[in-house]
Structure 1
Amino acid sequence: MPSTPLPESPGFDAEGTRTWQLLLRAEKMAMPLSRAATSKYKDQLVAVRVLGWFLKDFWDHTSRTDFGLLLYHRLITEISSCYHTEQPVEVGHSKVIQLGLSYSNQLLRVCRSDTGPTPTPSSDVSHPSFDAMMVDSTINGMKTAPKSKSEAKIQALVRDGYRCMISGILDYDSVGDQDVPVTMTQCAHLFSEFGQDKDKMFGLNEVVQSLLGGQVNNLGNVLTMSDALHRKFDEYEFWLEEVDGQLNTYDLRARHEKFFRLADNPRRRVKFEVDQGVLALCAEKGLLPPPLPNRNLIAIRSACARVAHVSGAAELVVQLLRDRGETSVMASDGSTAPLLTSLLLHAPFDRITT
């Protein structure tokens, strides 16, 4: 999706409207910079729009999290801090662009950096749905957060009834010889670890870390998902939006309608539930049931997906990764200078994967 211009009237409160006017002016300054021959990727323009569309998303979806307008006001504070009365306003616009680049880098890296296959467990477990001892051991282990992605996958598979949470299709390694549709699954994270830039991110890093309790493999951050859907999830091709008044129920929203024609048959509405057998065993053992994916993490992740597309950030990353993969060396005639410039603007870039 091409980068979408910021609207003139977003419908904010007075504080937000004042900040929005600054963003509109910064966007106007970034336009000629992005039309320059050395700015093939429109980095500066996308950076401003990342901030603007996040601000609007936090305002429009305030009821989707337990934080109200916290992130909205934190972002206003970050943007406003770029401007000082003793400096030209253009300097403030330049700082806003740098702020937008920082947010774009952090958010895309945090949500896209953990896309590889789930490691195979050290123990050779086949058909775990028929292995009562393994299930019992896994449930006992749910007293603490998983220590690894491999352990998280096993716990999530048990919690989710050995099904992809999005399609409802059973996991290939868990069904034995039953004559039913199956799929290969992965352990999908809503968020991976944040980088070192912890003083920024309009408080987002603090919110996510508090929800995770410092444990990225916490089951509240994990979904069992088929290989194909996991990849599309990491590419922001679809996201989940909570259904009002229906606990743990989400509508799937996709960038393209063709997403719903995938072979893994994603449903348009999903309800997350702990497997009934697991609930019974937890009750028998006097244990709390394992947590389902956290609604606040899902809401924040969905905001990232929406903003990544409407701002043009997702398209920019895809294009950069494609061009980087096709360019083995930098050309002496300067033709690859835009690529090098953008890669430097988006450093550290090596943690963003396809």
Structure 2
Amino acid sequence: MTSLPAKVPERLRNRAHIVSAYDICLRLEKSLQQATDKGEDVGKSMINIRILGYLIHFVPTDQGLKTVVDEITSCKDDFALLNVGKMYYDHYIRAFRANKGRIPTPSNHASRPSFDKIADMMKATIVEAPQSHVEAKKNALIRDGYRCVVTGKYDARSVKDIRELNDLVLSDPRLRREVTQCAHIFAESTNSSIEPGSAKRNYAATMWAVMTRFGHEKLPAELNGSKVHRLENVMTLVPGFHADFDQLTVWFVPTGEENKYKLEATETLVLRDYPEYVTFTTPDPVNLPVPSPTYLAIHAACAKVAHLSGAAERIDKFYRDMEDGTTLDPNGASAELLEHAIFELQAAGYKIIV
């Protein structure tokens, strides 16, 4: 968790209403810090106010910035302000962080046929409109050249199944193979297999409402149902990078050059095994589009806000506590853990009966 910078970004310092909104965040952060220094428990309040402050720094659209500023300045008291921060914690950060990377990724069917040529494999396996994770992975592998888009390692199963690819890897000792996974930018659990009236649908609706207020009105339709598997929302990754990406530990930053990104992370060590820059390519820009820069920008903003505000660290702690704990504290110390667990179950589609 990192304290809010003393000022807004330089490009915003001549916009009085934005500065005023940010000063409201700074004031409450200072008040909460004073309470903490006195030994008082402020719970998630510090995280919630820092989420709002860091959104002013990193929200990826002008409409999103306007929305956050308007929401801050319209709050009548600190309680209302913290509730706005909590809403973004629940329905922006958790939308990317909760449950992603914690469920085993489906693999291709064991009886997949073998091919002599890469072109033959492409013709036989490309799916026009992917309806499932497996179909999305097939298309992503074709677009990404059967390699992880970050490390360049070839998909181990594809090397086994395509003789031409096998010969290529054998011919160059510098080439490596590894199991790869189909990684979604927006989690496939967010918007697929949602029953009408379910808690999962209510959760998704609130998350999409946040995206709409940020100026991304088309996102709910673009990623509705099985459309979450569209190529713009997926990429081929090795498991290690996939986990880092899903846990908001690493993100893609545009360079100004089309489809070229710089990798950034929560700490330098995370980037040790990865290249500084990643360029997305495709053999067919029309039918096999590269990952969406809009989706990646939303993910990057979320990752930075989650890391700096302390939200990501708190979510990680909850996951550890949920895995390690077997009973609830009778004195109420586990109340927040229980609240978090209930939220996760509702987001996953379970109905909670009290």
Quickly name the TM-score band, shorter chain normalised: 0.7 to 0.9
Instruction: Give the TM-score normalised by structure 2.
Output: 0.79
Q: Deviations over 1:148-191 (max 9, x none)?
A: 11110111001100000111110010113443411111111111
Distance 1:48 1:307, change over 3 A: same
Aligned to 1:89: none
Aligned equivalent of 2:184, options 179, 186, 189: 189
User: Secondary structure of the equivalent of 1:274?
Assistant: coil
Distance 1:77 1:48, change over 3 A: same
Distance 1:201 1:294, change over 3 A: closer
Distance 1:324 1:4, change over 3 A: same
Which stretch of the first structure deviates more once superposed, 181-190 or 25-34? Answer: 25-34
One-letter amino acid of the counterpart of residue 249, structure 1:
K
Q: What 5-or-longer segments of structure 2 have no aligned partner?
A: 161-165, 192-203, 349-354
Aligned to 1:322: 320
Q: Report whether the alignment pairs 1:203 with 2:196.
A: no
Distance 1:36 1:346, change over 3 A: farther
- In structure 2, what is the Cα distance between the partners aligned to 1:344 and 1:32? 27
C-alpha displacement of 1:124: 2.5
Distance 1:34 1:216, change over 3 A: farther
Distance 1:199 1:251, change over 3 A: closer
C-alpha displacement of 1:138: 3.4
One-letter amino acid of the counterpart of residue 44, structure 1:
S
Q: Is the 8 A contact 1:243 1:249 kept in 2?
A: yes
C-alpha displacement of 1:27: 2.2
Q: Is the 8 A contact 1:39 1:338 kept in 2?
A: no
Aligned to 1:303: 301
Distance 1:128 1:310, change over 3 A: farther
Q: Is the 8 A contact 1:184 1:227 kept in 2?
A: yes
C-alpha displacement of 1:200: 4.2
Aligned to 1:94: 79
- In structure 2, what is the Cα distance between the partners aligned to 1:129 and 1:216? 32
C-alpha displacement of 1:21: 2.0
Q: What 5-or-longer segments of structure 1 have no aligned partner?
A: 63-67, 84-91, 283-287
Q: Deviations over 1:186-229 (max 9, x none)?
A: 11111122623254457246353355466211110111100111
Aligned to 1:82: 75
Aligned to 2:260: 249
Aligned equivalent of 1:220, options 229, 232, 238: 232
Matches within 5 A, 1:26-105: 26-31=28-33, 39=41, 42-58=43-59, 68-83=61-76, 92-105=77-90
Which ranges of 4 or more aligned residues in structure 1 deviate by more than 6 Å? 35-38
- In structure 1, what is the Cα distance between the partners aligned to 2:224 and 2:154? 30
Distance 1:199 1:240, change over 3 A: closer
Aligned to 2:275: 267
Residue identity (%) = 28
Q: Deviations over 1:40-97 (max 9, x none)?
A: 8x41110110111011113xxx6xxxxx4111111112223322xxxxxxxx211111
- In structure 2, what is the Cα distance between the partners aligned to 1:32 and 1:25? 11
Distance 1:309 1:340, change over 3 A: same
Q: Deviations over 1:300-321 (max 9, x none)?
A: 1111111111111111111121
Distance 1:196 1:308, change over 3 A: same
Q: Is the 8 A contact 2:322 2:341 kept in 1?
A: no
- In structure 2, what is the Cα distance between the partners aligned to 1:129 and 1:191? 35
Q: Is the 8 A contact 2:183 2:237 kept in 1?
A: yes
User: Secondary structure of the equivalent of 2:228?
Assistant: coil
Distance 1:348 1:76, change over 3 A: same
Aligned equivalent of 2:287, options 283, 286, 289: 289
Aligned to 1:344: 339
Aligned equivalent of 1:120, options 107, 112, 137: 107
C-alpha displacement of 1:23: 1.6
One-letter amino acid of the counterpart of residue 267, structure 2:
H
Aligned length: 313
- In structure 1, what is the Cα distance between the partners aligned to 2:117 and 2:6? 59
C-alpha displacement of 1:345: 6.2
User: Secondary structure of the equivalent of 2:205?
Assistant: coil
- In structure 2, what is the Cα distance between the partners aligned to 1:321 and 1:52? 25
- In structure 1, what is the Cα distance between the partners aligned to 2:49 and 2:211? 14
- In structure 1, what is the Cα distance between the partners aligned to 2:49 and 2:247? 21
User: Secondary structure of the equivalent of 1:168?
Assistant: coil
Q: Is the 8 A contact 2:222 2:228 kept in 1?
A: no
Which stretch of the first structure deviates more once superposed, 92-101 or 210-219? Answer: 210-219
- In structure 2, what is the Cα distance between the partners aligned to 1:122 and 1:148? 13
Q: Is the 8 A contact 1:118 1:150 kept in 2?
A: no
One-letter amino acid of the counterpart of residue 186, structure 1:
Q
